Amino acid sequence: MPIFTGAGYNTDAPFPIPSPAMRSSRVVASGVLLLASSACLGDFSLDPDRAGFINARAFDDGGNSVLRVDGAFYRGFGLDVLVGFPGLCQVLEYSSTGGGGIQTLDAGPSFAASIAGNSAPVSRVTVGTTLTYEMSVGTSLPYTPGDTLTVSIDGQSGGFPAATVRVRTAEPFVMEPVVAPPTGPTPTVATWTPATVPGSVMTLSLRYSTLDGILTPNAQIYCVFHDTGSGTIPENLLDAWIGSDPASRSQAAQRVREASITVSRSTKVRLFSFYDVPTPTIGGS
């Protein structure tokens, strides 16, 4: 799996996410891999790319849905993010690390996130030389999943330019528990509530421990499926999961929608909406 060159990744979400600032709060509260060329900026005479990655994650607030939005803006060569290709399943490490190594850009003091008649600022946070954008503690946006989220970036001279991008938010779903086959590895089918509107993918993480006597997961089977309501996990990936202590196993799924705009030839913004099952609660993780 390609990862953000020179940086760690964080897998306390269903799949690895970039965490350029080494701190406890999520820099990007979602499952995307940030990809970047390993070349140094000084090796090229061409202008590097500028890319913004903004993430909206659903939370449960006492039975009501709310959104929290965060993101970051980058400068580098070959910047992109990878959510995953439908039909892909693989075994990955499950751990949490952090790192730096790519330049973040100033997009102004804050950008605005608006949905269902409500709006909130997503404000600049500086840790060392790293700039990220987060909602203030305790702030969230009430909405109905499926509503359209609008993000308006004022931009900053010499940093990231102004832009506006919109996305339909990901809808709730029920994911049935995936059960280890009793007779050994066989293709295993995951089932969930299918999307009623095209444009989303479903991700699934089956987490487990490969270490005797240790119940903290250190590995996962990670799959990306077309959001049709079912997907098959290949039998050749299941050996270690079936052989693990059942008490170490857990699963998490995530519906992902995204929209992107091209601001200029070398500048783009991608906006992701995530709905997790289990769904985190406000004040939780």
pLDDT bin (cut points 50, 70, 90) of residue 86 is: confident
How would you label 207-231 residue by residue, b for 16+ Cβ within 10 Å and e otherwise?
A: bbbbeeeeeebebbbbbbbebeeeb
Report how many helices (DSSP H) and strands (DSSP E) the chain contains, helices first.
1, 20
- Expressed as residue numbers, the domain containing 32 is 9-40+48-84+97-171+256-277
For residue 158, the 8-state DSSP code is T
Q: Is residue 16 part of a domain?
A: yes
Average of per-residue pLDDT values in the chain: 82
Mean pLDDT across 36-42: 38
**168 token code pair:** 């339909």
Task: Indicate whether 112 belongs to any domain.
Answer: yes
- Tell me, yes or no, whether 246 lies in a domain: no
In a domain, 228, yes or no: no
> Do the beta carbons of residue 237 and residue 221 sit within 8 Å?
yes
Residue 14 has a pLDDT of 31
User: Does some domain include residue 199?
Assistant: no
245, part of any domain: no
In total, how many domains does the chain have? 1
Cα(93)–Cα(222) distance, integer angstroms: 10
- Band of pLDDT at residue 161, cut at 50, 70 and 90: very high
- Token duo for residue 254: 């995530």
> pTM surpassing 0.85?
no
- Asked, for residue 62, whether it belongs to a domain, the answer is yes
DSSP tag of 229:
S
Averaged pLDDT, 166-185: 89
Query: Over the stretch 246-265, which tens digit does the pLDDT of each residue have?
Result: 999 999 999 999 999 999 98
Q: Please give the full DSSP string across 87-145, using - where no structure is assigned.
A: TEEEEEE--B-----SEE----SEEEEEETTEEEEEEEEEETTEEEEEPPTT--EE--T
Kindly state the average pLDDT of the residues 214-220: 95
Kindly state whether residue 181 falls inside one of the protein's structural domains.
no
Portion of the chain with pLDDT greater than 90, in percent: 66
